[in-house]
Amino acid sequence: MPRSPQALSALCSAFLCLLLHAGLAQAGQVQAEPVTGLGQAAYLPLAIRQPDVSPTPAATIGNGNFEAGPGSGWAESSTVLGDKPGAIIKELHDTSIVAPRSGRYVAWLGGVHDDISILSQPITLPAGALRLEYAYRAYSEEPVCGADGGELALVRGETVNILGSVELCLATEREEWTVRQIDLAPYAGQTWTLRLRVTTNGSLYSHFFVDDISIVPN
């Protein structure tokens, strides 16, 4: 038996209440859609699917293990060796002092006199607890600390946040790969340039090797 428009409207209202009690008509998820041709407007509940929200992408270091070779991910510069790719990122056969921690490539800063070596890359840090992780080895002929050294920093314009520094001398040599971790939470939600910088003087040689740079959750 056909229902009257008034009965159909009441039935629809009851159905909408059922949805509300079931928790299926949350804000923005259910709306009324008119149905005509029944003598008067009746409204049926219409479920609306919320658009998918993409998760915040994790911060990544491009070519962090250097296995893509020179010219990928990183800007390389040296006051002695120039700004060309390959000035800092070296393949295994180019590094007579130390083998890479993994793969065939490693970043080699220093190794020449009166030099400023810089390896840099822009990165965006999403909100959340993150840490920077990298491995390094250091060699130096300097008997006294203070002449040669290096630093890792986040740079934006005139702002330079030093994440870590090392004096390159006999006392700070690392014959094995050493892994360091640095908390990046204070810099989250911003875009920076990650910069590794090593300076050497004109007397004895100092070398700083870096490999397997990554950003991981805390």
Kindly report, residue by residue over 73-89, the tens digit of the pLDDT.
Answer: 999 999 999 999 999 99
Q: Tell me what pLDDT residue 34 has.
A: 53
Q: Which residue has the higher pLDDT, 102 or 30?
A: 102
Q: Which residue has the higher pLDDT, 116 or 9?
A: 116
Reported residue count of the chain is: 218
Band (93; pLDDT cuts 50, 70, 90): confident
**Domain layout of the chain by residue ranges:** 5-47, 75-217
**Is residue 54 over pLDDT 90?**
no
Separation between Cα atoms, residue 104 and residue 68, nearest integer Å: 10
Structure tokens at 147: 């002449």
Q: Are 206 and 148 in contact (CB under 8 A)?
A: yes
Q: Tell me what pLDDT residue 58 has.
A: 61
Q: Does domain 75-217 have CATH number 3.40.50.720?
A: no
Separation between Cα atoms, residue 3 and residue 96, nearest integer Å: 90
**Is residue 177 over pLDDT 50?**
yes
pTM, two decimal places: 0.73
Separation between Cα atoms, residue 83 and residue 127, nearest integer Å: 33
- SS3 at position 108: strand
